[in-house]
Amino acid sequence: MIKRNISESAIWKTIIYTNIIFFIISLILTGSDLKFDIHPFSALSPSNKSLVGLGASGTFSINNYHEWWSLITANFLHGSLIHILFNMLAVYQLAPLISKVYGQYRMFIIYIISGVFGFYLSYIAGIQITIGASGSICGLIGASFYFGKSRGGVFGRALYKQTVSWIIFIIIFGILVPNINNWGHGGGLISGIFLGMVLGYNDRIKENKFHKISALILALITLCVLIWSFIFYFKFFF
């Protein structure tokens, strides 16, 4: 039973650890330019140089440096301590839930692809520099929204109502707080709903080899572009 629980949590824990590792690396690469501001939204903020070099997405990175791979790497970069804390707490709450109802491999597919689509939509909208796991998190919320609406029943209706409250909060937060990438949030949410519908959930179809292989391929691609981000940084920015 213990081994099973560890296995079921391995993927979403790896996502959190990877985000933390890349945040620490971005701080190290920032060096003397690191901000120790008392303002909560800018305390421990990596420099734009380190973020762009490690794979921040947006028109600046893609148009100037052809960093299309930043559509993936930007998911693992954050602009401040509070930014990563909020996002990783959201992953900690949502990823186990989505893993339970969709399976951990489908959860990973939804997480990565939703982030990619969110950043691509941000690029189309003309956002210059954008980072963070929010698009991926909104993808998990979108998948939860679809599951609750589609499944119904006591659990489905309760989850649907909870998800609607999350979406309302995201919309209000995006309106009131400056510098929020609402395009990324919206793109992640829409793609999460779509992927939830296309991939299906456990009550309709159990995870199969296609989901596992797809998740493995996506994980290998993610690993490769994360490694490439280091090469890119030291090649062009060091």
pLDDT of residue 119: 98
Instruction: Indicate the average pLDDT of the chain.
Output: 92
Q: Where are the alpha helices (DSSP H) in 125-208?
A: 134-151, 153-176, 182-199
Instruction: For residue 178, name the pLDDT band (cuts at 50, 70, 90).
Output: confident
Instruction: For residue 4, name the pLDDT band (cuts at 50, 70, 90).
Output: very low
Mean pLDDT of 26-55: 82
Tens-place pLDDT, residues 52-62? 999 999 999 99
**Can you give the pTM of this predicted structure?**
0.93
Assess whether pLDDT exceeds 90 at residue 112: yes
pLDDT of residue 68: 95
Rg of the chain's alpha carbons, rounded to an integer? 18
Tens-place pLDDT, residues 130-162? 999 999 999 999 999 999 999 999 999 999 999
Tens-place pLDDT, residues 213-229? 999 999 999 999 999 99
pLDDT of residue 238: 63
* 8 A C-beta contact, residue 26 and residue 54: yes
pLDDT of residue 1: 37
Instruction: For residue 234, name the pLDDT band (cuts at 50, 70, 90).
Output: confident
Helix, strand or coil, per DSSP, at residue 43: coil
Tens-place pLDDT, residues 65-105? 899 999 999 999 999 999 999 999 999 999 999 999 999 99
Residues of the chain by 3-state class (helix, strand, coil), percent to 5: 75, 0, 20
Q: Alpha-carbon distance 90 to 18, whole Å?
A: 15
> Domain 2-236 in CATH: superfamily?
Rhomboid-like (1.20.1540.10)
Q: Alpha-carbon distance 5 to 142, whole Å?
A: 25
* 8 A C-beta contact, residue 95 and residue 140: yes
Q: Which residue has the tokens 């981000």?
A: 229
Query: Burial letters for 157-178: b for 16+ Cβ neighbours within 10 Å, e otherwise?
Result: eebbeebeebbeebeeebeeee
Q: Alpha-carbon distance 107 to 101, whole Å?
A: 9
